[in-house]
Chain A
């Protein structure tokens, strides 16, 4: 089972360049999430999509945009990359289940460096 697939796995950008991180899940999950992970700061939510057609800001949305293309795919775009966006980015999905009780499933991350 593929689960949550993220592409690319690694990327180096120059300041000011744009890029889209791709995420797809094959578990028929309704909710999808984008996080960034920085040393000593745990995971911080950038954007999430509760269901197809909806997106909402998380705690650190500035400098990012998202698109929920369909139920499977949720992309994250950096319009003008900045060194502060150097991080590891994780996509996650979560099934419906009973209210609140389903865990998230994570991809293996995209390691992004901005010079």
Chain B
């Protein structure tokens, strides 16, 4: 079985400050990890993914994520937050087959205040 935990329901940061949205996972085997963002009344949009290789992954809109195998974590980060980054963020994990199902975390609401 695979699972994802996003331990914070809400993260609040000031504009210009660095942000971190946390994600931990549990899988049997090598994970494929993804971050998605959801704006109000919209579907999820892909931000970045970790498949293999470099533990620091860069994605859209200046976001990056660090894969840590020993801590089974894949935290989303951005050096300088923007008000427009305010949204709901989901971490997801998948293992193996091309038809494989992804498991999503419960989501973290990021609020960036001016």
The secondary structure that dominates the B interface is: loop
**Chain B contacts for A50, CB-based, 8 A:** 98-99
Q: Are B106 and A100 in contact (CB under 8 A)?
A: no
Q: Are A105 and B90 in contact (CB under 8 A)?
A: no
Does B98 contact A96, Cβ atoms closer than 8 Å? yes
Q: Do A109 and B101 touch (CB < 8 A)?
A: no
Instruction: Tell yes or no: B51 within 8 A of A by CB.
Output: yes
Kindly state whether residue A51 has any CB partner on chain B within 8 Å: yes
Asked whether B41 is an interface residue with its Cβ less than 8 Å from the other chain, the reply is yes
A74 lies within 8 A of chain B by Cβ: no
Segment at the interface with B among A14-22, A41-49, A65-73, A78-86: A41-49
Binds A, one of B11-19, B42-50, B62-70, B74-82: B42-50
Contact of A108 among B43, B96, B99 (CB under 8 A): B43
User: Scoring A residues 22 to 55 as 1 if CB is less than 8 Å from chain B, else 0, what string do you get?
Assistant: 0000000011010100001111010010110000
Q: Which residues of B contact A (CB under 8 A)?
A: 9, 32, 34, 36, 41-46, 49, 51, 90, 94-102, 104-107
Given contacts A48-B101, A90-B43, A105-B46, 12 further A-B contacts (CB under 8 A): A33-B101, A40-B106, A42-B107, A43-B104, A58-B101, A100-B96, A101-B51, A103-B34, A103-B46, A103-B49, A104-B36, A106-B44
Q: Can you offer 28 A-B residue contacts whose CB atoms are under 8 A?
A: A31-B98, A35-B104, A42-B104, A42-B105, A42-B106, A42-B107, A43-B44, A45-B101, A48-B101, A50-B98, A51-B99, A90-B44, A92-B44, A96-B98, A99-B96, A99-B97, A100-B94, A100-B95, A101-B49, A101-B51, A103-B36, A104-B34, A104-B36, A106-B43, A106-B45, A107-B43, A109-B41, A109-B43
